[in-house]
Chains A and B, each alone.
Chain A
């Protein structure tokens, strides 16, 4: 097979570090005449490309004569616009390195050895609600999980990525606070509230069903509101249900009882730019009473 580049093993070649100096995205052009020498040039050009993850293989020269020029042209493509993405990400990292990393060498050196975050944060994957942006968490502050609708499944629902992270944060990192942050206009909660029992399945349905208790409660207590307001109600209700679900984990419950761990809920409204925060009052909460929780230290900032 004489085609110069066979991409059977895309991960075989060297990675290109962004922090190195010369970085030149170049269009690869292939001369019309096909000879073994041209194949060599092609290989070199491909290796220089910033998206080079190709392993080249050379076939016997006898086959090359069958090839068309146009076929090689398609092989030599570098997708338009992807160079921009590489440049964009490179600029982003270099700006962090210059303005943050190099400005705090001792802090980053000690962080490189070990992390000791005081917080574990469970937030939605929504692009508008990153806890590092809205709550100013710096490197080393918060061990963060982000999933659709910031849900916490119960202990009984079995292994999942959320459970794994809870285990690590609470038992290994020994965080002192767990903060579940919900937000306005949440697509996941909206999907939960709008879910029909029509037998269709999807990943989104299978996931947001973990918040079904919040939906039930909302339908009961907020049935007079329009759909949008019901969703807002459910967004907050779901945070409280996640807090209750946290207590279904024996190791979390034990630490909360011993006052080694505090559980907090937070709600970020990005329409009005306000933040509410409350803490679970474990002593006051009677879980047998329908999972109703008692909160303390409720604050609202806007």
Chain B
């Protein structure tokens, strides 16, 4: 998009930024703004680390932050997101990108294979702390757990031999949270090939995490009071599809069995 002369200008300006560290804030901001305007587009992903970050931040500041002063004023005072999202750490599945969450909308936890362990007061305090904070302090209304295609964590879980022959690293210790989904998939889809089994496990593991969410007392309480909904999602970046479902749990009304006039041997 930039012709030769503006490309040269961009290079010179970038060089100026790199070399003159003592430039004051105002001059730096003006130079960055010029660069962004000359580039006229998103940051170039093949820049070295520092440049990459400054390009990204400058773009955000000029095109988002500065254009929404009331929003960011409000956010500076506090956050009140409606969503809590569990997503995988995979670089391809940021919910802010695929579901366009803007600052303030989603309290987001990212870990390997988007797992939620069951309530355990002795360990997994990392996840416990996020849930405790999201429910009791932020009072989120929805928890969405998003799985995805070609998940390395799930693949590792499915690959790991359970006979003790392979070493047990930190990763294996973490993904074994999903062991019950692995068992279920191997039983229900034993004829499928490994790749298909992994795909089933990616979705089954989301369900496993949803079930585990309910074991946290404050989560259960808020669901009973109808203040909280649990949702499952699956992002398939191979086909460009997104699946969305809800976790519902319901106890049916009792049926009264009359004592007289009926055969008691039923």
Contacts and interface: CB of A to CB of B under 8 A. Distances in A.
A146 B108 contact: yes
Nearest to A146: B110
Interface residues of B, number: 104
A204 to B, nearest CB: 5
Contacts of A6: 252
Interface stretch (A115-123, A235-243, A252-260, A287-295): A115-123
A179 B126 contact: no
Contact of B248 (A1, A7, A203, A301): A7
Interface stretch (B6-14, B86-94, B191-199): B86-94
B108 A125 contact: yes
B242 A18 contact: yes
A79 B153 CA distance: 34
Contact of A53 (B66, B121, B124, B246): B246
Interface in B80-136: 81, 89-94, 96-112, 115, 121, 124-134
A24 interface: no
A136 B90 contact: no
Contact of A187 (B97, B128, B137, B169): B137
A58 interface: no
Given A133-B102, A139-B97, A188-B133, A16 B237 contact: no
Most buried by B among A18, A184, A204: A204
B57 A85 contact: no
A53 B248 contact: yes
B226 A262 contact: no
Contact of B25 (A71, A133, A300): A300
A63 to B, nearest CB: 6
Contact of A130 (B45, B108, B132): B108
Interface of A: 1-3, 5-7, 10-11, 15-19, 51, 53-54, 59, 63, 66-67, 71, 74-75, 79, 82, 85-86, 89-90, 92-93, 95-97, 100-102, 108, 111-112, 115, 117-119, 125-148, 159-169, 172, 176-177, 179, 184-185, 187-188, 201-204, 206-208, 262, 264, 266, 270-271, 273, 275, 277, 297, 299-302
17 contacts: A5-B250, A5-B252, A6-B252, A53-B247, A90-B244, A115-B90, A127-B104, A132-B96, A140-B45, A141-B52, A147-B109, A164-B174, A165-B89, A167-B169, A168-B153, A172-B152, A301-B32
Interface of B: 21, 25, 28-29, 32, 42-43, 45, 49-50, 52-61, 64-66, 72, 75-76, 78-79, 81, 89-94, 96-112, 115, 121, 124-134, 137, 142, 144, 149-150, 152-153, 169-171, 173-175, 203-204, 207, 226, 229, 231, 233-234, 237-238, 240-250, 252-253, 255-256, 258
